[in-house]
């Protein structure tokens, strides 16, 4: 049994793409315990029984997920959206799909998520509620061409969500998020990033200046919005040529 198979013997990692597990193993020098700890930080910690089973109301499921439990989605999306939107492509979506009813009416929603269990539970929710304009697919954000193909095939104007994914990308490959944002910006009209301003449990607040990413965004894009809400800093950007 190779190291990827050994890591994926744990149920919480069993449905992750091999490419992500391989990257974690490489960073951890094939140490299974360290690889699992790294993956658990960004994936396993979110997979509660309520989330995995997808039972209960959408609000109950959103409240059970560590990254979404503090958001008032009505207010949250109200501050993000302005003007027309055709599609939302939600990268590293977690359980955001369960907030679909809070999005602008008639919008197409495509989520990309590494954890296959979340993909299955969210798509089951969409089917049960008859949300035909929404679906989630399993994918690795490091497969940039796949993300670009998704963006090329959805309705304009396209808004990309990157909620609390920058840290995960950077921990797996330094400066990848900069390259990634530059590439996907060519195939969308706006990108919405969020950065945590407190620990997942909310017990510890920390500075979130993130000068390196903010300077990069200011240099390459127009900052349309920059606000803090529910333990997150939210930045909405668009291409300068789109202004």
**Both 236 and 139 in a single domain?**
yes
* 9 in the same domain as 90: no
Residues 29, 97, single domain; the answer is no
- In this structure, is residue 54 part of a structural domain? no
Residue 24: strand, helix, or coil: helix
Query: Which residues neighbour 170 within 8 Å (Cβ) at sequence distance 6 or greater?
Result: 176, 177
**Is 56 part of any domain?**
no
| Tokens 């140490």, residue located | 31
Are 21 and 76 contained in the same domain?
no
Q: Is 207 within a domain? A: yes
Q: Is 97's pLDDT higher than 90?
A: yes
pLDDT of residue 228: 92
Mean pLDDT for all residues in the chain: 86
Domain assignment present for 102: yes
- Is 61 a member of any domain? no
- The pTM for the full model equals 0.85
Peptide bond into 157 cis (omega under 30): yes
Relative to beta strand 232-239, strand 158-163 is unpaired
| Same structural domain, 11 and 71 | no
DSSP state of 106: T
User: 97 and 214 in one domain?
Assistant: yes
Same-domain status, 27 and 99: no
User: 27 and 94: one domain?
Assistant: no
Confidence of residue 242 (pLDDT cuts 50, 70, 90): low
Q: Name the nearest CA neighbour of 68 among 43, 95, 47.
A: 95
Q: Would residue 87 count as lying in a domain?
A: yes
Q: Are strands 232-239 and 190-196 parallel, antiparallel or unpaired?
A: antiparallel
Q: In the structure encoding, which two tokens stand for residue 240, read together?
A: 């300068």
Instruction: Name the least confident of 48-52, 80-84, 130-134.
Output: 48-52
User: Does 238 have pLDDT greater than 80?
Assistant: yes
Average pLDDT over residues 112-117: 89
Q: The tokens 């407190």 sit on which residue?
A: 198
Phi/psi for 107 (5° steps) reads: -75, 140
Per-residue tokens: 98: 């369960």
Strand duo 221-229 + 232-239: pairing: antiparallel
Residues 20 and 90 in one domain: no
Determine contact, residues 107/85, Cβ cutoff 8 Å.
yes
pLDDT band at 1 (very low <50, low <70, confident <90, very high): low
- The whole-number pLDDT of residue 187 equals 97
**CATH number for the domain including 108?**
3.40.50.150
Higher pLDDT, 197 or 216: 216
Tokens of 218: 């200011």
Task: Examine the domain organization and report whether 30 and 82 are in the same domain.
Answer: no
Residue 179 confidence class, pLDDT cut points 50, 70, 90: very high
Query: Which is more confident, 51 or 187?
Result: 187
- Would you call 70 exposed, middle or buried from its count of C-beta atoms within 10 A (0-12, 13-18, 19+)? middle
Residue 216 placed within a domain: yes
Domain membership flag for residue 206: yes
Higher pLDDT, 56 or 104: 104
109 and 14, same structural domain?
A: no
Residue 133 pLDDT greater than 60, yes or no:
yes
Whether residues 21 and 79 fall in one domain: no
pLDDT bucket at 112, cuts 50 / 70 / 90: very high
pLDDT at 41: 73
Nearest to 139 by CA among 16, 4, 12, 9: 16
Q: What is the mean predicted confidence (pLDDT) over 54-59?
A: 70
Distances (CA, A) of 192 to 131, 141, 182: 23, 16, 13
Q: What pLDDT score was predicted for residue 46? A: 53
Tell me the mean pLDDT in the region 178-193. Answer: 96
From CA 204, how far away is CA 81, in angstroms rounded?
A: 29
pLDDT band at 188 (very low <50, low <70, confident <90, very high): very high
Mean pLDDT of 121-137: 94
Total count of domains within the chain:
2
Residue 200 pLDDT exceeds 80: no
User: Mean pLDDT throughout 115-130?
Assistant: 91
202's tokens: 């909310």
Residue span of the structural domain in which 176 resides: 66-242
Q: So what's the pLDDT on residue 67?
A: 63
Q: Is the pLDDT of residue 51 over 60?
A: no
- Residue 78 and residue 179: Cα distance in Å, rounded? 29
């Amino acid at each position: 049994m190779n190291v990827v198979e050994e890591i994926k013997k744990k149920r919480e990692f069993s449905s992750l793409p091999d490419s992500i597990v391989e990257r974690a193993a490489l960073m951890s020098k094939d140490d299974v315990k360290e690889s699992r700890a790294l993956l658990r930080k960004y994936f396993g910690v979110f997979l509660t029984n309520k989330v995995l089973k997808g039972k209960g109301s959408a609000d109950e499921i959103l409240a059970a997920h560590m990254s979404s439990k503090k958001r008032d989605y009505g207010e949250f999306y109200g501050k993000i959206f302005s003007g027309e939107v055709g599609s939302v492509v939600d990268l590293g979506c977690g359980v955001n799909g369960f907030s679909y009813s809070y999005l602008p009416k008639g919008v197409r929603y495509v989520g990309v998520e590494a954890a296959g269990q979340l993909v299955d539970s969210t798509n089951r929710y969409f089917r049960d509620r008859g949300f035909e304009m929404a679906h989630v697919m399993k994918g690795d954000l490091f497969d940039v061409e796949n993300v670009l193909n998704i963006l090329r095939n959805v309705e304009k104007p396209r808004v990309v969500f990157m909620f609390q994914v920058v840290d995960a990308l950077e921990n797996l490959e330094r400066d990848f998020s900069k390259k990634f944002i530059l590439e996907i910006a060519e195939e969308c009209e706006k990108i919405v990033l969020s950065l945590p301003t407190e620990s997942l449990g909310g017990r510890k607040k920390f500075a979130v200046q993130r000068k390196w990413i903010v300077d990069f965004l200011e240099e390459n894009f127009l900052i349309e919005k920059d606000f803090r809400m529910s333990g997150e800093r939210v930045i909405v950007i668009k291409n300068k040529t789109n202004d």
